[in-house]
Amino acid sequence: NIPIIPIDLNTINQQASKAVAEAIASKLAAKLGVNYHNLTPEQATEMLKNNPVPYRGEPAFFYNGAVFIVGDNVRPGILLHEFSHPLLQGIRKTNPKLFNSLYEQLVKTEEGLGIIAYIKKAYPELAVDSDLFKEEALAFAMQLKSMNKLENKVETEGFQSFITKLLASLKQLLR
């Protein structure tokens, strides 16, 4: 008699996804020269207690030039969002006109309006016209694009055009 071993495919898929995401995080951290850390929710709360944007249970955050993943929340979309922050800051610092233009293109899309509404609700302390708000919106756009790609979701033409311009700008920055 051969014993039957129960297999939980969801657990296997989650573990595989986590392993892939961790490999991606390590490569992104090395390529971008950005530190990457895991920490507990308690450590995140303590770290951000005096920050204008306190920790509110986010799965990850970018702070003081480093990416912090809270608990086991390492997933490709979250990583792309967090590792996009130093790149977006690079665009903002080297070409503020382009940074603002990219944001303006985003807000003209259905997806962009949804992202803006989400950020206003999730981060009420951020002024809508601030660079930090705009950076967050652009980072969420990158995350949305990755999720749409993974889930084969259709995007508006305007959002596709915006993403093409954003990716070209990031590529130019990395040259």
- pLDDT of 12: 45
Provide the pLDDT for residue 111: 95
pLDDT-derived band of residue 141, with 50, 70 and 90 as boundaries? very high
DSSP count for the chain of H helices, then E strands: 7, 3
pLDDT band at 17, cuts 50/70/90?
low
pLDDT score at 137? 97
Q: Which residues contact 98 (CB under 8 A, 6 or more apart)?
A: 91, 169
Q: Can you say whether the dihedral through the CA atoms of 175, 159, 77, 113 is positive or negative?
A: positive
Q: Which amino acid is at 143?
A: Q
CA distance 118 to 138: 13
pTM of the model: 0.78
Q: Is 67 helix (H, G, I), strand (E, B) or coil?
A: strand
Considering the chain, what is the average pLDDT of its residues?
Answer: 85
State both tokens at 162. Answer: 């915006």
pLDDT value of residue 25: 72
Q: Per-residue pLDDT for 153 more than 70? A: yes
For tokens 């309006």, name the residue.
113
What is residue 102's predicted lDDT score, i.e. its pLDDT?
97
In this prediction, what percent of the chain has a pLDDT beyond 70? 88
Average pLDDT over residues 28-40: 81
Tell me: the pLDDT tens digits for 112-134? 999 999 999 999 989 999 999 99
pLDDT at 22: 74
